[in-house]
Amino acid sequence: MSRSTRSPCSRRLLPSLAALGLLAGCGRTETRPVSLADLSDRALTYTLVDIDSLVTPDAAGSHRFTLKLAQASDGCTQLVEGVTATFNGQPMELEPGGISESGGREVCEETRAWFDFDPEAWDAEPIEDARIFLQSQDGTSALSLIVSGAKTKRHITFQGAGSGATLRQGQTYTYRWEPVDETPGPVTVTLLREDGRAPATLETAQEGGNITFMLPQATPVAKHLLTLSGSLVGQVLQCEGVASCEGGIFHSTDFEISVAP
């Protein structure tokens, strides 16, 4: 952790810049160390990203749980050393936050922790609540978040005869979000022609986790990338050590399809 003394100019600019999360210009700004016990007035946000991409299957962050802790309203803080974070007992990466240099200006970064999961391992394991714990080195302070049923591999599957590898112009098709007891928000369906530049968004109808769309009659006869994506709000069962916890789950699946007349 690096600390420096504020210049008179930075003292004048700090309130407005802190509100934007940016601290730039004349002189460096002090980062204030905080413990877990100091986070009781902070908001925690989380995101579980589960992207099954055919284009970039190994992209960093495509299967990741991330939590962030909001910065203080009166300056920039950094979590003290020695804090550990776990996701269902497995270690998470932890960034303490604080001032960093970006593009020649000082940026106040939030404290965050993340866990990259193995989608194949999750697929083979039963559904579990996601249990995230941050604990101080001496064990006297802790932060906990439990999200109902969040630890599971999500899928979107083709419903109908055959594999769904070939779709016909003007026909209607249904896909299903799984687990079936989850109801995502409006699911987006896009279609990108092979070697195309911009995907087309298809009109959909949705009932629970079932997503239905008609393949337009004018769709070119060619190979396409069909992508279905959606999100849902996570159900927080436990939120301790902070003022609030909220977040969501995002999943998308790619399908390589051939369009036939």
How many Cβ atoms sit within 10 Å of the Cβ of residue 126?
Answer: 7
Residue 172 lies in a domain: yes
What's 38's DSSP letter? G
User: Residue 209's domain spans which residues?
Assistant: 155-232+249-260
DSSP type of residue 33? E
Q: What's the token pair of residue 163? A: 């594999």
Question: How many domains does the chain contain in total?
Answer: 1
Residue 89 domain flag: no
Residue 64 lies in a domain: no
Going residue by residue through the chain (261 aa), what tens digit of pLDDT does each one get? 343 334 333 333 444 444 433 444 344 568 999 999 999 999 999 999 999 999 999 999 999 999 999 999 888 999 999 999 999 999 999 999 999 887 778 899 999 999 999 999 999 999 999 999 999 999 888 999 999 999 999 999 999 988 999 999 999 999 999 999 999 999 999 999 999 999 999 999 999 999 999 999 999 999 999 999 999 999 999 999 999 999 999 999 999 999 999
Sign of torsion, CA 8 9 10 11?
positive
In a domain, 195, yes or no: yes
Q: Which residue has the tokens 């404290």?
A: 111
Residue 79 lies inside a defined structural domain of this protein: no
Read off the CATH number of the domain in which 226 is found: 2.70.50.70
Residue 163 is assigned to a structural domain of this protein = yes
Whether 228 is covered by a domain: the verdict is yes
The residues pairing with 21 across neighbouring beta strands, listed in sequence order, are none
* Amino acid at the residue 207: E
Would you say residue 222 lies in a domain? Answer: yes
Given a contact cutoff of 8 angstroms between Cβ atoms, the answer to whether 36 and 83 are in contact is: yes
Alpha-carbon distance of 215 to 27, in angstroms, equals 58
